[in-house]
């Protein structure tokens, strides 16, 4: 490769720009699908789920026998430590964003709240989802993969 080819390739390589928590949560709220990360048998477990952002908290629905429901129930007093990731990255250009939220998950037990979440969050699998989990963010991080600006150094 010539020097010109190297510069052209670097110009097409997206650069990573950190997002503040407000922008990261706004982007998270703009998509419906993400991945929940929790502990199962002392190991990380990851499940794809759909979500809705309500008053700065992430809400998802689950069923009574789900591993996430059991994990959240076992850690009800202090909240179950989880991570939640969602993104929107174009596979062709590699441009987009990714957000990770780390926080505490708790089962929603208030019948009025449960009814509200049933109305705004339809399960994306054909299974009865009688429970809801609310994640309260503690740490919100995100990056935007952008094409604009100077290419990354190195």
Q: CATH number for the domain including 100?
A: 2.30.110.10
Total domains in the fold of the chain: 1
d(CA 42, CA 44): 7
Contact 99, 116 (CB under 8 A): no
Q: Is 6 a member of any domain?
A: no
What pLDDT is attached to residue 129? 73
- Considering just the CA atoms, what is the radius of gyration of the chain in Å? 19
Q: Is 127 a member of any domain?
A: yes
Domain that holds residue 131: 20-145
Q: Is the pTM here over 0.75, yes or no?
A: yes
What string of pLDDT tens digits covers the 154 residues of the chain? 455 554 445 456 789 999 999 999 999 999 999 999 999 999 999 999 999 999 999 999 887 778 898 999 988 888 999 999 999 999 999 999 999 999 999 999 899 998 888 888 876 666 677 889 999 999 999 999 998 755 544 4
């Amino acid at each position: 490769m010539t020097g010109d080819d190297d510069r052209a390739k670097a110009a097409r390589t997206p650069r990573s720009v950190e997002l503040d928590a407000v922008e990261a949560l706004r982007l998270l709220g703009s998509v419906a699908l993400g991945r929940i990360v929790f502990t199962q048998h002392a190991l990380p477990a990851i499940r794809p789920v759909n979500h809705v952002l309500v008053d700065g908290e992430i809400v998802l629905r689950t069923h009574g026998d789900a591993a996430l429901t059991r994990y959240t129930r076992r850690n009800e007093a202090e909240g179950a430590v989880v991570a939640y990731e969602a993104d929107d990255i174009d596979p062709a250009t590699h441009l987009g964003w990714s957000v990770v939220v780390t926080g505490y998950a708790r089962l929603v037990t208030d019948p009025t709240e449960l009814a509200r979440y049933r109305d705004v969050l339809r399960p994306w699998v054909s299974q009865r989802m009688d429970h809801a989990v609310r994640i309260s963010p503690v740490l919100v991080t995100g990056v935007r993969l952008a094409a604009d600006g100077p290419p990354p150094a190195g």
